Structure 1
């Protein structure tokens, strides 16, 4: 498909402020200069990070696929080396594992791994090389020290919250083969090109330019920014709508942002804190004094750490037992908010009647298990009256510290669950804002298209999700710390657009700041797709509740186009040990009517490049991550993002994008709010001919030939994998090709 740009030199006179959204000291350039710069970039590989302006352009010659370690026998054991994974993707020694082998041009855009034992190793052979082009462990790949696997396009398990990730494009001109050694989960995403396509290897130095773009996430990543800007402040009354932009001209919307003065953007505190404490043995008595305020109840707060076992002690105030402190045992890895130790505070109410006439009290702890403590505070009206630091000998002496058995000193560097660093009153404000903003929707319609192209809550559309307004600095959508919601996906159109905000809440929203950037549409009609979204919402115990044994449909549509991003909010009932099992679901993506999936992943968090239910907690990069994890009404809630600007999922006639819920589509308790961002054209790939290898007449009519060593053999493997695993195919034989086969097909004349 040709990509021809029309050069428009006519200057449009805007009815608004003409401006430039400069990225730092970015200097505006003309249409001609922008076009020249963009055309000098390749249509594949690392250059695509700089070529976001051309994201709407469509092609029919790229084939998007994935290989992974998903279990081919239909169970949920998706890791190579795990008992029950009978994928067959193993060598005779059951340890060296072929992961991918292609014999045509293409580009790998994503490699994701996680492991549970010894460190796996990769051997990557490019273009028929006899020795590996790269022979590296996953640690080396993610370190950033081995070219071309350099920062910021590689991430270790801490940075990606559970996965070893490379989004370094690997270009191969003729072939590629990847062998893995060890036990691991893996996903490899790539795009294939037709034989004869000429691809050039990337220049690693270009990654420095990508680093600049990533470092400035939250700003527009596009090259051409000499657009016109309409800025306004609107009053959005309850249960009403307002048009924020409308035109009948051919244009491109380049950026869209909103800011509501009523709402506050929050950030999670992920500060690592070094502290000194003591480990108190079982059956130990500890005493110390703390000052109190005797005018009302006080709060006695202990700082401890969650460990493998419960930690308990009874608490006495001046020899009167009032309560006990308990630090629960950590849940097994994967089911906490992170998979390493973290601090926790435990509060005890000291009633006023025990404090009458007193300025200080003696606190006695009687341990019934080992107990690690760092500090204790006495609080009145949330203000500190006194504090003892158990790791500081002088401070303990100051507070008359005594113990009948010697405790052991400890020095730790941990963090708190960031949700606990937000107080209860603030959480109530967060929930209040959440309930309102989730009822503010954005609607976009194109004048030459039927129906809404975009109709979704602004929370999901702008990429921060349905579970509170937390800062999310995605490359294309996000929420800044100052409250600005932004979308930088280019939206070209031929005959006009209308953008509306709809307030379905009962609250008036005043002086909403709106910015709409627009420019000339430089694309030739028919070469690009219209920007659209598909919003889905499934709420437990309602008419939209998920269905047992049926996966979630993220997007099912006819036409041609490409998926370029997802914002995915999911919550599940809190099941204690298995609170996050709702993240077990695999993606399955069926392209162009095929009942064989082009993508089949290994878990929901794996799709967003995490692992073990995001084992390092909330982590967001410009193109993927878990941006939010919190709790409400006894539900565990997660927001995930993924941007596919280099590796969009391309389709030519239709796409069916599914995601499982739980390991076997059994988690019907799960709530889902998701937006899929995609470019779409009504045009479809036409079938001009078809050859049926099970029909002798069809073979004859298509002049089918094969070498003498090849043959047709009967097959009993007549079922599909994945969603269509119960569907029987009509095929009873297949060809086993040793050297070659050839046949003719009809095509449309040029």
Structure 2
């Protein structure tokens, strides 16, 4: 018996001793998640059964009330507070976004506890004032407030908002099955502080280099550099390997040769002799150019100076090849392009069971009204890591197509539903000053461009800790329009994802699809006009541009963004009892005679034209008419003559000319 007991004792000792490290290894802390925000080398790794989902304030009726009323911004009320999210663990919150933060408190109740484990002002998730929610991992720009500091929980998490109303919100989280998760406590230990400093330093670097990403499986890089001249109709390989390895990053420098309305140079990459290219797209689209100009400058991809860069890891099993293809056109003269390429790679093979290969899907389409624009719709196992998107409206006017929500189905279940297109890109409030009003790049997201006269915008977003895994299939798409995809658009996108199987097909960038769309009508809205008053003119910018003068004055309006050409000038303006006289000039060239904007009594129908709209005045609801699309002349627009000047004179005490819209209509 003693022998048997001794054997059992030894067995138990060995078992416990050997199992203890396994338990320790399975312990998962919030710093493990934080590490993912700098460990780009881990991007190819699968996350089996760890699926991303989201609470958001989207309109459940299919309408466009995605937060204004606050109807869908909470799950239930508890007393005078709002429960805005409730997750069963183990899990982690990876992203919190809003364009409407307040100073109300947020309470995070972890693991069924009666007292909150985290109390913080909603606004301080983004202010950079409260540790560990520091900038730039948390912050705001382009109209949106975002937080990527992970918040882990062992069993559950309930988030409560201490206020009567919450507006727009997205809370993105994922389950962590099989992990012994340590609940977030915000411990400011030196080790934690050092890691946060490392992440913030990487995110804050506006001149990213490959050296920032050469760790783990991306370490020990070699460099291949090649310079060549690419002629129309040619294709030139610049990287080829016939052994396992991975590309850690690459740069392509061709000066300004990829700019312009023709996107005729394609980037092509093939892994392991697959029949369909893993990358096949116009270079300009791949690197986030916006309608002919370099625009994206993120942490992982973009253009810096003359060099285009990509630091997404690309593992392969047996071989890899990359090349540039210069598509030839019959109708225009194309010039040779001088190119310098650097590829950073190593010989670390892909772990087939644990890693996917990088694939991209280029897609340009004018989707039918009522149909979604699809970023990616595929079967297999993998994870989605990035979107670059150019959004062109096909109807002049406000960019209402960007009201469309993103929608993501993974393994036959809707996991994420957004609240608007700019919200998906961590932005908000398009056509509002210093919000979503121009291109601006941040580490993982940004606005590529915004132009009301051209009816276009664009954006990008990359996913690190919040990459969207799928086991069987994924459907990731974007609406276009306020409701039911009701706005005609021309959308171009590139989807970036890692997967366990090659692409089955690709879209060919034809001559037409490689050309930037140019609208024929351009509308200038008051809130985005660039104007300069002169001659003592007073300007009030409310519903329109109200020009007020005691005697005479001028206001110059810049006609930015619009291509050179011949245009008809149309005005929407208000006739009212205090309406002044006005003339329109293009620099020293007079377009119109004096036109009176005095009148507007709807009781007298004389002088009303078809299309005139009787409107209430700010002071007198019975005495105002809006004149629509009044032609005041034609102009030849160049870079030197891209302005109009309104001369305004007082008409017997009538001292105001109020411009609503300025419209340019192209003349062939």
Return the TM-score normalized by structure 2.
Answer: 0.64
**Structure 1 residues 511, 649: closer, same or farther in 2, change over 3 A?**
same
In 1, Cα distance between the equivalents of 2:29 and 2:449? 35
Aligned pair partner of 1:446 in 252, 267, 271: 271
The answer on 1:230 being equivalent to 2:54 is: no
Residue 500 of structure 1 is matched in structure 2 by 323
Residue 267 of structure 1 is matched in structure 2 by none
The answer on 1:243 being equivalent to 2:253 is: no
2:137 and 2:149 in contact (8 A); partners too: yes
> 1:624 deviation in Å?
0.9
In 2, Cα distance between the equivalents of 1:526 and 1:109? 25
Post-superposition CA distance 1:545-596 (Å, at most 9, x none): 21111111110111100011111111114644xx12111111111111x1x3
Residue 164 of structure 1 is matched in structure 2 by 145
State the Cα RMSD in Å: 2.6
**Structure 1 residues 40, 654: closer, same or farther in 2, change over 3 A?**
closer
Post-superposition CA distance 1:299-347 (Å, at most 9, x none): xxxxxxxxxxxxxxxxxxxxxxxxxxxxxxxxxxxxxxxxxxxxxxxxx
> 1:199 deviation in Å?
4.4
Post-superposition CA distance 1:661-715 (Å, at most 9, x none): 11224344211111111101039xxxxxxxxxxxxxxxxxxxxxxxxxxxxxxxx
In 2, Cα distance between the equivalents of 1:108 and 1:614? 31
The answer on 1:588 being equivalent to 2:427 is: no
In 1, Cα distance between the equivalents of 2:364 and 2:143? 27
Residue 133 of structure 1 is matched in structure 2 by 117
In 1, Cα distance between the equivalents of 2:30 and 2:248? 21
Residue 345 of structure 2 is matched in structure 1 by 518
The answer on 1:193 being equivalent to 2:176 is: yes
In 2, Cα distance between the equivalents of 1:441 and 1:567? 16
Residue 631 of structure 2 is matched in structure 1 by none
Aligned pair partner of 1:100 in 85, 92, 103: 85
2:96 and 2:147 in contact (8 A); partners too: yes
Residue 565 of structure 1 is matched in structure 2 by 386
Residue 259 of structure 1 is matched in structure 2 by 253
Post-superposition CA distance 1:23-49 (Å, at most 9, x none): xxxxxxxxxxxxxxxx99989411002
1:108 and 1:190 in contact (8 A); partners too: yes
1:41 and 1:47 in contact (8 A); partners too: no
Number of equivalenced pairs: 455
Residue 478 of structure 1 is matched in structure 2 by 302
> 1:204 deviation in Å?
4.5
**Structure 1 residues 646, 483: closer, same or farther in 2, change over 3 A?**
same
Aligned pair partner of 2:440 in 599, 619, 623: 619
2:125 and 2:138 in contact (8 A); partners too: yes
Residue 145 of structure 1 is matched in structure 2 by 129
**Structure 1 residues 671, 43: closer, same or farther in 2, change over 3 A?**
farther
Aligned pair partner of 1:91 in 77, 85, 91: 77
Residue 15 of structure 2 is matched in structure 1 by none
**Structure 1 residues 204, 108: closer, same or farther in 2, change over 3 A?**
farther
**Structure 1 residues 663, 568: closer, same or farther in 2, change over 3 A?**
same
Residue 637 of structure 2 is matched in structure 1 by none
**Structure 1 residues 41, 257: closer, same or farther in 2, change over 3 A?**
farther
2:74 and 2:83 in contact (8 A); partners too: no
Residue 637 of structure 1 is matched in structure 2 by 456
**Structure 1 residues 192, 72: closer, same or farther in 2, change over 3 A?**
same
- Answer 1 or 2: higher relative contact order, Cα 8 Å, separation at least 6: 1
In 1, Cα distance between the equivalents of 2:451 and 2:227? 32
Map 1:221-620 → 2, pairs under 5 A? 221-224=212-215, 225-263=219-257, 433-436=259-262, 438-462=263-287, 464-480=288-304, 482-506=305-329, 507-538=334-365, 545-573=366-394, 575-576=396-397, 579-592=398-411, 594=412, 596-613=413-430, 615=432, 616=435, 617=437, 618-620=439-441
In 1, Cα distance between the equivalents of 2:431 and 2:353? 41
Aligned pair partner of 1:67 in 52, 55, 62: 55
Residue 656 of structure 1 is matched in structure 2 by 475
**Structure 1 residues 188, 228: closer, same or farther in 2, change over 3 A?**
same
Residue 209 of structure 2 is matched in structure 1 by 219
In 2, Cα distance between the equivalents of 1:216 and 1:236? 32
Structure 1 stretches lacking a partner, 5+ long: 1-38, 265-432, 539-544, 684-750
In 2, Cα distance between the equivalents of 1:249 and 1:223? 20
> 1:243 deviation in Å?
1.2
Aligned pair partner of 1:46 in 24, 34, 55: 34
Map 1:701-740 → 2, pairs under 5 A? none
SS of the residue corresponding to residue 261 of structure 2 reads: helix
2:240 and 2:321 in contact (8 A); partners too: yes
SS of the residue corresponding to residue 78 of structure 1 reads: coil
Residue 110 of structure 1 is matched in structure 2 by 95
1:605 and 1:614 in contact (8 A); partners too: no
